[in-house]
């Protein structure tokens, strides 16, 4: 999914002539702490509720207040993951979307972005979630997929998280599967040396190693 498809048409764009009071009212109405400021179609940055609350005069025009992220925005053809990476890195609540001509075309809210990201991962689909702990050099989604699919189960979403520097054996692979009963999958992966760190499923999980299953259940309850 691209940035242009993530635009929230309900979020207004502020103008330099709008007042501080108007901006605060719109932020409260739309349940956001930031809004984009534009000037005749040109992106001018983001105004923040936190900063506006420090302005004594509610009638002061936004053109005369401090703005954030004046050089931070996304292009309409950037991927969802690129947008997500930017807003997390910069701790933004909204992000402006510009077209090829660098004209402002809309605003993405972090709330909508996270919702779409969850859908891309298949979070709302019925099925189990597995978290595998592994050494980064052993990571092969092709091999893991082959083992899982040998049990007539499909991977519908995956996310690989690299370990911290100096801890290569602590990488994690999170998998969303299309089945609730994942006992055969766990047995197969363990037989081939994969370590199951956690499992989340709507059906009972039976491991060939009862001690490890007990540890897993303790993990899920913490």
Residue 31 and residue 12 in contact, taking contact as beta carbons nearer than 8 Å: no
Q: In sequence order, what are the beta bridge partners of 48?
A: 34
Do 135 and 108 share a domain, yes or no? no
pLDDT tens figures, 7-57: 999 999 999 999 999 999 999 999 999 999 999 999 999 999 999 999 999
Measured between alpha carbons, how far is 39 from 45 in angstroms, rounded to an integer? 10
Do 7 and 100 share a domain, yes or no? yes
Number of domains in the chain: 2
The closest alpha carbon to 43, from 106, 85, 90, belongs to 106
Do 11 and 115 share a domain, yes or no? yes
**Helices vs strands, H then E, count in the chain:** 7, 9
- Residue 199's Cβ-side half-sphere holds a number of Cα atoms within 13 Å equal to 29
203: in domain: yes
Average pLDDT, the chain: 87
pLDDT at 217 over 70: no
pLDDT at 169 over 80: no
195: in domain: yes
Q: Which domain holds residue 81?
A: 3-119
pLDDT of residue 123: 65
Instruction: Report the pLDDT averaged over residues 115-143.
Output: 83
Do 102 and 158 share a domain, yes or no? no
Pairing of strands 129-134, 195-200: antiparallel
CATH code of the domain covering residue 144: 3.30.70.260
pLDDT tens figures, 75-100: 999 999 899 989 989 999 999 999 99
Do 88 and 160 share a domain, yes or no? no
124: in domain: no
Do 153 and 204 share a domain, yes or no? yes
Three-state DSSP class for residue 127: coil
Residue 122 and residue 179 in contact, taking contact as beta carbons nearer than 8 Å: no
């Amino acid at each position: 999914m691209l940035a242009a498809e993530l635009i929230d048409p309900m979020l207004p764009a502020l103008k330099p002539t709008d007042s501080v009071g108007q901006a605060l009212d719109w932020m409260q109405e739309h349940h956001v702490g930031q809004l984009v400021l534009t000037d005749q179609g040109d992106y001018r940055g983001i105004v923040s509720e936190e900063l506006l609350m420090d302005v004594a005069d509610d009638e002061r025009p936004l053109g005369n207040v401090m703005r954030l992220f004046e050089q931070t925005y996304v292009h309409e053809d950037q991927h969802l993951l690129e947008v997500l990476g930017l807003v997390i890195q910069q701790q933004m609540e909204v992000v402006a979307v510009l077209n090829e001509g660098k004209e402002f075309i809309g605003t993405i809210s972090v709330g909508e972005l996270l919702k779409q990201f969850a859908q891309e991962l298949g979070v709302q689909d019925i099925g189990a979630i597995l978290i595998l702990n592994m050494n980064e050099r052993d990571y092969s989604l092709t091999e893991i997929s082959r083992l899982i699919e040998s049990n007539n189960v499909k991977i519908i979403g995956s996310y690989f998280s690299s370990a911290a520097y100096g801890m290569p054996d602590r990488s994690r692979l999170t998998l969303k599967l299309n089945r609730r009963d994942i006992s055969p999958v766990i047995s197969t992966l363990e037989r081939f040396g994969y370590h199951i760190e956690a499992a989340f499923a709507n059906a009972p999980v039976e491991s060939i190693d009862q001690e490890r299953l007990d540890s897993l259940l303790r993990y899920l309850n913490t």
